[in-house]
Amino acid sequence: MRPWLDLTVPDLLRSAPEGIAAALAAAQMARRLSGEPAQLRAWTTQVALLQAALAGPRWAEARIAFEYDMLRLEKRIDAVLVTPRAIFVLEFKVGATAFTPVDRAQAEDYAQDLWDFHANSRAHPILPVLVATEARRLPPLQFGLPTPGVAPVADCNGAALGERLAALQDALPAPVAPLDPAAWITAPYKPVPTIVEAAARLFARNSVADIAAARADTDNLTRTTEAILRALEAARAAEERVVVFVTGVPGAGKTLCGLNIVFGEHRRLGTAFLTGNAPLVAVLREALACDRAGIDLALGPSHDPLRRQRAGKLRQARHETAQALQNVHRFLADNAHAAAPPAERVIIFDEAQRAWDAAQAGRDTQRRKSVLTMSEPAHALAIMGRHAGFAAIVALIGHGQEINTGEAGLAEWGRVIAATPGWRAVAAPRALTAREAAQRLNAGPAPWLTLDDALDLTVPIRSVRSEAGAAWVDAMLRGDAAGARAIAEEAGGVPYFLTRSLGAARAALRGWTPGLRRAGFVRSSGARRLRAEGFDAQLIGTEEPVAWFLERWPDIRASDALEVAATEYACQGLELDAVGLAWGGDMMRAGAAWRCRRFAGRGWQQVNGAAEQEFIRNTYRVLLTRARYETVIWVPPGSAADDPFHDATRPAAEMDAIAAFLQACGARPLPAPVPPPRAEAATLL
């Protein structure tokens, strides 16, 4: 993305503030964004302050970019000042009389994003500056020493802007390789949005290509999206019924592709995203509704001071998102025995490999009496098949993420399509080659199946730190220590850190999430003996995950309070910037292999069934692929054998063996708590 306007400082000084403000307003209109007179006045004030601050000769080679789009929930940096020595991130709060922690976090977050995602920023100091224009008291000025990284936020008011910028600039020596301001402006900025941020952008009718340009590997994501749309258009033109299967490794963007069909620029009426993941539905619904209502998610929805005033708009937005994001089990139950076709002609079936088989679909529970008589894939085809002519199901397949009994697998989809006249399918070859027979669409080619390589997402984009994370997790969970270590060594290390101290894990997660970034703990639902380690709390229902993923500390319900862990059921499909995984006793080492267990009554019972063993391994696969940056694996110390109150359900020797194996696989020992790369701080008196 490019700034709305960039100028050399000499050009800035030659221009009228009103003219620059008008140019920014025109850029705003060109992007179909609403403008207000207050914004025009704010721009005029900012420009006038910058002209006064940058009038000296030291700024003659500098360049300034206005409204630099960060592509994170529609936010932009007010101004970026680029000099041969450093990058200044300027966040203006026109009229503000004080410096708030939220405003400082916002400025720091912008600077950290440039460090992580801007191609020409890594080798230079990045100095965030918060300008509360009417503040009267200024804290001592801190500045970054001449090392690449993000310096502490410098507070400034309008009157002292010139003096403080000059002090920061002059404190940095001339670099050996000066920064080229013009080249910096044109260098690519390619962030990886979270699934919540991406959904919000798509809801505003952006395209997936606009929001998913993370690295060169996202050509794969764009290619897959185009393949889905191509298959849908072909079926629509031929008045056919089609199931489009999208396969991929964890974190490769399957959910993003599905959301793009529902919310992106190609959206049509009669399209809905269906998932059996109730927390995912709840979190995305509330996030999209808050975004549509103008509530700032960066603060945490409940902390928005205007939330009450926006209540009516929020109710309407919730209604809109409820139509587009639905629980798949409820959709199938509501439509199973209706005579008319559903309102939707295209449904996105998230985690379709987890669709229920006939036995699970027809089972009554305490919460519901089942009305289903077939497997969920069979009901889905029967319901959508009531449409005359075109109908489509986009089935998102997450291999290695089956975590519950009663999941039908990809084979059931193939059986139902083959047995249902009028339906055909499009899929990648991977759909025929999975290791487990239950996850193969068919035994081989079939007349109802067309293969398209572009429907397979092979490159994980969730992880910002390393593309090798998913492969490392797979090798480690297969028990292949040599293979996992080789992957880690070839990648120069993977972002998985090992600690035996819960306190150290918490300190690292807090230190590694500067600005507005988010950390949280996850754990297996089967890790029952974490209770004895003092860490048993887990999310319940659907309301708790909403607060956990969307609220911010000091709200104790928020993930970054680091008090409550999300299980595999609460966090599948969602992500955090940094994750702490509390390892439980449900998967432990037995000689040279993993042994899976369940806790019942007073002790552990060994799991012998291959399917249930795979569910437990996949649980840890889901938990280990939730982080965008670092994952801290906490292996509890367990109970020492010589302890007079020794607990046989969590012997220290078992925990030691897990930790030793993770280290042998290449998990790195957790270093002393330090934040991500930042410039060291000093104080100007």
Mean per-residue pLDDT of the chain: 86
Residue pLDDT, tens place only, 527-546: 999 999 988 888 887 789 88
Domain boundaries along the sequence of the chain: 3-191, 195-457, 469-669
Element (H, E) at 273: strand 271-275
**How far apart, in Å, are the Cα atoms of 265 and each of 210, 340, 421, 447?**
10, 29, 32, 33
The reported pLDDT for the residue numbered 406 is 64
Residue pLDDT, tens place only, 300-328: 777 666 666 667 777 877 777 777 888 89
Residue pLDDT, tens place only, 460-478: 666 666 778 889 999 999 9
Alpha helical stretches, state H, 31-138: 37-53, 101-117
Q: What is the arithmetic mean of pLDDT over 17-22?
A: 96
Torsion of CA 318, 320, 321, 327, to 10 degrees: 100
Residue pLDDT, tens place only, 163-194: 999 999 999 888 888 999 999 998 887 666 66
C-alpha 624/C-alpha 665 separation (Å) is 14
C-alpha 195/C-alpha 550 separation (Å) is 12
Q: Is the pLDDT of residue 367 over 80?
A: no
Q: What is the arithmetic mean of pLDDT over 436-442?
A: 86
The mean-pLDDT minimum among 364-373, 512-521, 526-535, 601-610 falls in: 364-373
Residue 122's CB is within 10 A of a number of other CB atoms, namely 14
Query: In the structure encoding, which two tokens stand for residue 161, read together?
Result: 């802007």
Convert 78-96 into a string of H (helix), E (strand) and C (coil).
Answer: EEEEECCCCEEEEEEECCC
Who has greater pLDDT, 351 or 147? Answer: 351
Q: What is the arithmetic mean of pLDDT over 670-676?
A: 62
**How far apart, in Å, are the Cα atoms of 622 and each of 215, 371, 593?**
23, 31, 20
Report the candidate in 645, 578, 629, 575 with the shortest Cα–Cα distance to residue 194.
575
**How far apart, in Å, are the Cα atoms of 378 and each of 348, 420, 454?**
15, 9, 26
Confidence of residue 682 (pLDDT cuts 50, 70, 90): very low
The reported pLDDT for the residue numbered 308 is 63
Identity at 213, one-letter amino acid code: A
Who has greater pLDDT, 516 or 155? Answer: 155
Residue pLDDT, tens place only, 405-414: 567 789 999 9
The reported pLDDT for the residue numbered 213 is 42
Residue pLDDT, tens place only, 221-251: 788 989 999 999 999 999 999 999 999 877 7
Confidence of residue 677 (pLDDT cuts 50, 70, 90): very low
The reported pLDDT for the residue numbered 195 is 65
C-alpha 527/C-alpha 585 separation (Å) is 6
Contacts of 13 (CB under 8 A, 6+ apart): 51, 54, 55
Burial 86-110 (b: 16+ CB within 10 A, else e): bbbbbbbbbebeebeeebbbbbbbb
How many residues in the chain?
A: 685
Q: Is the pLDDT of residue 36 over 50?
A: yes
Q: What is the arithmetic mean of pLDDT over 361-370?
A: 77
Q: Is the pLDDT of residue 34 over 70?
A: yes
Who has greater pLDDT, 267 or 436? Answer: 436
Report the candidate in 329, 332, 356, 362 with the shortest Cα–Cα distance to residue 344.
332
Q: Does domain 469-669 have CATH number 2.40.128?
A: no
The reported pLDDT for the residue numbered 680 is 44
The reported pLDDT for the residue numbered 212 is 44
Residue pLDDT, tens place only, 559-589: 999 999 999 988 887 889 999 999 999 999 9
pLDDT over 70 percentage in the chain: 87
Who has greater pLDDT, 667 or 144? Answer: 667
Residue pLDDT, tens place only, 118-157: 888 888 999 999 999 999 999 888 765 667 889 999 999 9
Who has greater pLDDT, 545 or 253? Answer: 545
Q: Is the pLDDT of residue 428 over 80?
A: yes
Q: How many helices (H) and strands (E) does the chain have?
A: 23, 26
The reported pLDDT for the residue numbered 233 is 95
C-alpha 103/C-alpha 108 separation (Å) is 9
Contact 331, 347 (CB under 8 A): yes
The reported pLDDT for the residue numbered 142 is 73
Q: Fill in the DSSP letter of residue 606.
A: E
